[in-house]
Structure 1
Amino acid sequence: MTTIRDVAREASVSVATVSRVINSNGYVNEDTRKKVGAAIDRLKYKPNSVARSLYKKESKTIGIIVPDITNPYFPQLVRGVEDHLIKKGYTSILCNSDEDPEKERLYLDVMKQKYVDGAIIVSNTIDERLLQEYDMPVVALDRSIHKDIPTFAIDNRDGGRAATKHLQDIGCQRIAHIKGPEQIKNAEERYTGYLDVVKNQSWFRDSYVVPGDYDQKKSARATMELLEAHPEIDGIFAGNDVMALGVLKAAESLNINVPEELAIIGFDGIDLTEMTTPELSTISQPIYQMSVEAAETLVALIEGKTNAQSGHVFPSTLIQRQSTNSVKENVT
Structure 2
Amino acid sequence: MTTIKDVAKKAGVSVATVSRFLNDSGYVSADAAKAVTAAVDELKYELNPVARSLNTKKSNLIGLILPDITNPFFPELARAVEDVALTYGYTVVLCNSDENPEKEKNYIETLKKKYIAGFIVTSNQLDAPHYANANVPIVALDRAINDKIPVVSSNNKEGAVIGTNALLERGCRNVLFLRGPEELNPANDRYDGFMEAIRQSDADYQVVTCPFHFADSQKVVEQALQDNPSIDGIFASSDVSAAGALKAAGTIGRQVPDDLQIVGFDGVAMGEMLSPGLTTVAQDVYKMGAVATRVLIKQIENKKIEQSFYEVPVKLVIRGTTRSVAE
TM-score by length of 2: 0.90
Amino acid at match of 2:53: S
Of the candidates 275, 278, 290, which is equivalent to residue 276 of structure 2? 278
Q: Confirm or deny: 8 A CA contact 2:23 2:55 kept in the other structure.
A: no
Identity, % of aligned positions: 42
- Do the aligned residues in 2 keep the contact of 1:163 with 1:282 (CA within 8 Å)? yes
Aligned residues: 324
Q: Is the 8 A contact 2:172 2:203 kept in 1?
A: no
**Cα deviation, residue 27, structure 1:** 3.0
SS at match of 1:305: coil
State the partner residue of 1:263: 261
Deviations 1:184-203 (A, max 9, x none): 12112212222222347665
Check 1:105–1:231 CA distance in 2 against 1; reply closer, same or farther (3 A cut).
same
Question: Cα deviations across residues 262-309 of structure 1 (Å, max 9, x unaligned)?
Answer: 100000000111111111000011111122111111111111112443
Q: Secondary structure at the match of 1:324?
A: coil
- For residue 310 of structure 1, what is the aligned residue in structure 2? 308
Aligned AA for 1:210? V
Shift of 1:30: 5.5
- Structure 1 residue 211 displacement after superposition: 2.8
* Runs (5+) with no aligned partner, structure 2: none
Tell me the residue number matched to 1:298: 296
Q: Is the CA contact (8 Å cut-off) linking 2:164 and 2:197 kept in structure 1?
A: yes
Q: Are the structure 2 counterparts of residues 126 and 99 from structure 1 closer, same or farther at C-alpha, using a change threshold of 3 Å?
A: farther
Amino acid at match of 2:254: I
User: What is the alpha-carbon distance in structure 2 between the residues aligned to residue 165 and residue 35 of structure 1?
Assistant: 63
1:297 is paired with a residue of what secondary structure?
Answer: helix
Distance 1:2 1:126 in 2: 49
Distance 1:286 1:203, change over 3 A: closer
The equivalent of 1:36 in structure 2 is 39
The 5-angstrom pairing of residues 87-166 of structure 1 reads 87-166=87-166
Alpha-carbon separation, structure 2, partners of 1:36 and 1:17 = 13
Give the Cα–Cα distance (whole angstroms) in 1 for the partners of residues 109 and 3 of structure 2. Answer: 30
Asked whether the 8 Å contact 2:173–2:204 carries over to 1, the reply is: no
Moved more, 262-271 or 291-300: 291-300
- The within-5 A match list for 1:53-68 is 53-68=53-68
Structure-2 residue corresponding to 1:237:
235
CA distance in 2, matches of 1:190, 1:140: 18
After superposition, the Cα gap between the structure-2 partners of 1:306 and 1:277, relative to the gap in structure 1 and judged at 3 Å, is: same
Residue identity opposite 2:297 in structure 1: V
Alignment pair present for 1:180 and 2:180: yes
Give the conservation status (yes or no) of the 8 Å contact 2:2–2:43.
Answer: no
Asked whether 1:191 is paired with 2:191, we answer yes
User: Match of 2:225?
Assistant: 227
The residue matched to 2:204 in structure 1 has which SS? Answer: coil
| Cα distance, 1:274–1:10 mapped onto 2, change above 3 Å | same
Looking at structure 1, the residues matched to 34 and 161 of structure 2 have their Cα atoms a distance apart, in angstroms, of 65
In structure 2, the residue matched to 1:27 is 28
Counterpart contact for 1:259–1:326, Cα < 8 Å: no
Letter paired with 2:149: I
Give distance in 1, aligned partners of 2:48 and 2:126. Answer: 33
- With over 3 angstroms needed to count, the CA separation of the structure-2 counterparts of 1:30 and 1:264, relative to structure 1, is closer
Partner of 1:74: 74
**1:32 Cα deviation (Å)?**
4.0
Code of the aligned partner of 1:185: N
Name the counterpart of 2:252.
254
TM-score, normalized by length of structure 1?
Answer: 0.89
Deviation per residue, 1:165-217 (Å, 9 max, x gap): 11000111111012211221211221222222234766535xx2223310001
Taking the aligned partners of 1:33 and 1:264, their CA distance within structure 2 comes to 63
CA contact (8 A) 1:259 1:323 kept: yes
Cα gap change, 1:11 to 1:233, in 2 (>3 Å): same
- CA-CA distance at 1:128 after TM superposition: 4.8
After the TM superposition, which of the residue ranges 195-204 and 252-261 deviates more from structure 2? 195-204
